[in-house]
Amino acid sequence: MQKKELTIYVTRPNLPPLEKLHPYLEQIWQNKILTNNGPFHQQFEKELAKYFNVEHINLFANATLALVVGLQALRITGEVITTPFSFVATTHALKWNGITPVFCDIEEKTMNIDPTKIEALITPKTTAIMPVHVYGHPCDTEAIQDIADKYGLKVIYDAAHAFGIKMKNKNLLLEGDMSVLSFHGTKLFTTFEGGAIISKDEKLKKRIDYLKNFGFADELTVIAPGINGKMNEFQSVIGLLSLEIVEEEIANRKKAAETYFEKLKDIKGIKVFNNFDGYDYNYAYLPVLIDENEFGASREKLYDELKKHNIYARRYFYPLISNMPTYRSLPSAGKENLPVANKIGEQVLCLPIYGALEVETISKVIGIIENINTKK
């Protein structure tokens, strides 16, 4: 019987050793505290704040809830300028708050929101800018903040990809008014599901804590129509244990990425992103752009060929949010307004990367790419 080919996904969660989980579970079973700011939740919040070198952090059941609550906490209304090149939850969080998304084109170099295009989109209804550190590559935070200060706007960073990014001269997560992180199962740091908000002052942290717990300020007082966004004790335990192994995961991903970079450098029509000047990257993703004219095949052909070999790359982020039926009727969603984003959306392919990825598997991926390339 022929041996079944191993399936390779775009990522694989880095989980702590199972035996380390058992003592924590025993404590949860003994104290019967499952959620509502339990002891492990408090411990994880403190350890995470220490890791990020921040004072104010709020844990959430997932990052989408964190985005929804963060916008509520800052009392954002009207219009918010954001990127079409992201996971759809970024824009969904705006719509759940009754906010109109205004899509801004992106930079080809970083695939982040283009600050030079933001100012032209500001109207009397604009209250905030919500950029995304796409793939963990930092936005031009100085340029964005200059625009926000000039027009009196808030800045909320979707930092879902930015766990472990270390800037040379600043703390990326303290840029803007708040940053929102994701600990989803597809991220390099995971609590199965989960997320967090990092903000700058105690007053805002308290408001966020109220809003994520139905709006309760105390046992009898509800200050706002909040939501249930709390992280539970099991998620918190996974987070505590995952913190112990995340640096090793980043180091191993770096080795895998460097292998890719070396093997891809001479293949025409494949653009990699390996310029990390000013920061230490987390290697959360391995995006490449496929130039069909130079490569000799389309992104779709390569994507399908990899699937034939049980290798599941992902077209992050395709289709663009602005091209989805829910959002394409917005005035800012027109393709003529977003030429760079639409171009990159048709070319991008994220190749498999995770700490346990073997060199042999990377070589197999490269072999498939080279085989298509030689058939042009």
In this structure, is residue 8 part of a structural domain?
no
Give the integer Cα–Cα distance in Å for 233 and 38: 6
In this structure, is residue 299 part of a structural domain?
yes
**CATH number for 261:** 3.90.1150.10
In this structure, is residue 13 part of a structural domain?
no
Question: 314 with 349, same domain?
Answer: yes
pLDDT of residue 1: 42
Average pLDDT of the chain, as a whole number:
96
In this structure, is residue 266 part of a structural domain?
yes
pLDDT in tens, 277-297: 999 999 999 999 999 999 999
Q: Please report which helix (H) or strand (E) contains residue 156, including its range.
A: strand 154-158
Question: 163 with 266, same domain?
Answer: no
**Domain tally for the chain?**
2
Question: 221 with 292, same domain?
Answer: no
DSSP state of 169: S
Residue 192: strand, helix, or coil: coil
Give the integer Cα–Cα distance in Å for 149 and 156: 13
pLDDT of residue 5: 65
In this structure, is residue 66 part of a structural domain?
yes
Given a contact cutoff of 8 angstroms between Cβ atoms, the answer to whether 196 and 58 are in contact is: yes
Give the integer Cα–Cα distance in Å for 375 and 225: 60
Given a contact cutoff of 8 angstroms between Cβ atoms, the answer to whether 179 and 197 are in contact is: yes
Confidence of residue 373 (pLDDT cuts 50, 70, 90): confident
Note down the domain range covering 312.
247-374
Domain final residue, candidates 184, 217, 243: 243
DSSP state of 17: P
> Packing angle between helix 233-243 and helix 18-31, nearest 10 degrees?
150
Question: 91 with 24, same domain?
Answer: yes
In this structure, is residue 80 part of a structural domain?
yes
In the predicted model, is pLDDT for residue 129 greater than 80? yes
Question: 224 with 275, same domain?
Answer: no
pLDDT in tens, 61-70: 999 999 999 9
Q: Using a pLDDT cut of 70, give the percent of the chain over it.
A: 98
In the predicted model, is pLDDT for residue 119 greater than 60? yes
**CATH number for 66:** 3.40.640.10
Domain final residue, candidates 227, 243, 259: 243
Question: 167 with 291, same domain?
Answer: no
Given a contact cutoff of 8 angstroms between Cβ atoms, the answer to whether 229 and 216 are in contact is: no
pLDDT of residue 4: 56
Given a contact cutoff of 8 angstroms between Cβ atoms, the answer to whether 120 and 88 are in contact is: no
Question: 44 with 139, same domain?
Answer: yes
Domain final residue, candidates 197, 217, 243: 243
Mean pLDDT confidence for 209-228: 96
Question: 216 with 69, same domain?
Answer: yes
Q: In what order do the strands lie in the sheet with 287-290?
A: 270-272, 287-290, 348-350
Write the DSSP assignment of 349-368 as a string of letters: EEPP--TT--HHHHHHHHHH
pLDDT in tens, 303-347: 999 999 999 999 999 999 999 999 999 999 999 999 999 999 999
Question: 206 with 272, same domain?
Answer: no
Question: 229 with 276, same domain?
Answer: no
Residue owning tokens 């001479």: 266
Residue 311: other Cβ atoms inside 10 A: 21
Question: 49 with 142, same domain?
Answer: yes
pLDDT of residue 58: 98
In this structure, is residue 3 part of a structural domain?
no
**How long a stretch of residues is the chain?**
376
CA 315 to chain centre: 15
Q: Please report which helix (H) or strand (E) contains residue 9, including its range.
A: strand 8-9
Cis peptide bond upstream of 319, omega within 30: yes
In this structure, is residue 11 part of a structural domain?
no
Question: 103 with 199, same domain?
Answer: yes
Given a contact cutoff of 8 angstroms between Cβ atoms, the answer to whether 368 and 305 are in contact is: yes
